[in-house]
Structure 1
Amino acid sequence: MRKIISKSYNLEYNETKKVRLDSYLNEQLTDLTRSQLQKFIKEDNVLVNSQTVKKTGTKLTAGDKIIVNVPEEEPIKAIPENIPIDIIYEDKDVIVVNKPQGMVVHPAAGHPDKTLVNAILYHCKINDDDVIRPGIVHRIDKDTSGLLMIAKNDLAKQSLMKQLKEKSNLREYLAIVHGNFKEKTGKITAPLGRSKTDRKKQAVVENGRHAVTHFTVLEQFENYSLLKLKLETGRTHQIRVHLQYIGHPVAGDPLYGPKNTLSGNGQFLHAQTLGFVHPRTNEWMEFSIDPPKIFQDTLAQLRR
Structure 2
Amino acid sequence: MIPSLRMITETNVVKTWHVTKAFDGVSIRDFLSSVGEFSRQLLKKVRLNGKLFVNGLKREIWQPLSTGDELKVIFPAEERGAIVPHKGLLSIIYEDEDVLILDKPSGIPVVPPLDSTGTSIANHLLYEYDKRGYPCTVHIVTRLDRDTSGLMLIAKHAYSHMLLTKNLDQVKRRYQAVVHGSFMEREGLIDKPIGREEGSIIRRTVSSAGKPSKTMFQLDRCGTDYSFLKVRLLTGRTHQIRVHMSYLGYPLVGDTLYGGKEVEGTKGQALHCDQLHFRHPWTKKRMTFVSDPPKEWNIFA
TM, length-normalised to structure 1: 0.68
- The superposition leaves residues 198-221 of structure 1 with CA deviations (integer Å, 9 ceiling, x where unpaired) of 442000111211111100000111
Residue type at the aligned position of 2:243 = V
Over 3 Å counting, the alpha-carbon distance change for 1:97 and 1:195 in structure 2 is: same
2:180–2:260 CA contact under 8 A, matched in 1: no
Q: Does 1:268 align with 2:270?
A: yes
Residue type at the aligned position of 1:187 = L
1:185 deviation in Å?
A: 0.6
In structure 2, the partner of 1:59 is none
Q: Does 1:151 align with 2:155?
A: yes
- The superposition leaves residues 182-209 of structure 1 with CA deviations (integer Å, 9 ceiling, x where unpaired) of 3211100111111125442000111211
> Of residues 249, 253, 258 in structure 2, which corresponds to 1:256?
258
Structural RMSD (CA): 1.7
1:126–1:135 CA contact under 8 A, matched in 2: no
- 1: CA distance, partners of 2:116 / 2:156: 23
- Aligned pairs for 1:80-119 (under 5 A) are 80-119=85-124
Divergent runs of 4+, >3 A: none
Secondary structure of 2:256 counterpart: coil
In structure 1, the partner of 2:53 is none
2:108–2:120 CA contact under 8 A, matched in 1: yes
1:78 deviation in Å?
A: 1.2
Residue type at the aligned position of 1:99 = K
Unaligned stretches of 5+ in structure 1? Answer: 1-74, 129-133
In structure 2, the partner of 1:11 is none
- 2: CA distance, partners of 1:182 / 1:142: 29
Residue type at the aligned position of 1:235 = R
- 1: CA distance, partners of 2:181 / 2:135: 43
1:77 deviation in Å?
A: 1.0
- 2: CA distance, partners of 1:78 / 1:182: 45
1:186–1:214 CA contact under 8 A, matched in 2: yes
- 2: CA distance, partners of 1:145 / 1:111: 21
- 1: CA distance, partners of 2:236 / 2:93: 22
1:95–1:152 CA contact under 8 A, matched in 2: yes
Residue type at the aligned position of 1:146 = G
1:99–1:146 CA contact under 8 A, matched in 2: yes
- The superposition leaves residues 227-257 of structure 1 with CA deviations (integer Å, 9 ceiling, x where unpaired) of 0000111110000000001111101102002
- Aligned pairs for 1:131-142 (under 5 A) are 134-142=138-146
- The superposition leaves residues 57-112 of structure 1 with CA deviations (integer Å, 9 ceiling, x where unpaired) of xxxxxxxxxxxxxxxxxx97112211011001101111000111111101232233
Over 3 Å counting, the alpha-carbon distance change for 1:153 and 1:199 in structure 2 is: closer
* Identity %, equivalent residues: 40
1:76–1:107 CA contact under 8 A, matched in 2: no
Secondary structure of 2:154 counterpart: strand
2:252–2:260 CA contact under 8 A, matched in 1: no
Residue type at the aligned position of 1:298 = I
- Aligned pairs for 1:121-200 (under 5 A) are 121-124=126-129, 125=134, 127-128=136-137, 134-164=138-168, 167-200=169-202
2:147–2:268 CA contact under 8 A, matched in 1: yes
- 1: CA distance, partners of 2:81 / 2:121: 15
1:126 deviation in Å?
A: 5.7
- 2: CA distance, partners of 1:169 / 1:258: 29
Residue type at the aligned position of 1:94 = V
- 2: CA distance, partners of 1:182 / 1:152: 43
In structure 1, the partner of 2:225 is 223
- 1: CA distance, partners of 2:104 / 2:135: 18
1:173 deviation in Å?
A: 0.4
Q: Does 1:207 align with 2:209?
A: yes
Aligned residue pairs total 217
- Aligned pairs for 1:230-245 (under 5 A) are 230-245=232-247
In structure 1, the partner of 2:55 is none
In structure 2, the partner of 1:50 is none
- 1: CA distance, partners of 2:201 / 2:107: 22
1:155–1:279 CA contact under 8 A, matched in 2: no
> Of residues 287, 292, 297 in structure 2, which corresponds to 1:290?
292
1:106–1:117 CA contact under 8 A, matched in 2: yes
Residue type at the aligned position of 2:84 = I
- 2: CA distance, partners of 1:107 / 1:249: 26
- 2: CA distance, partners of 1:184 / 1:135: 37
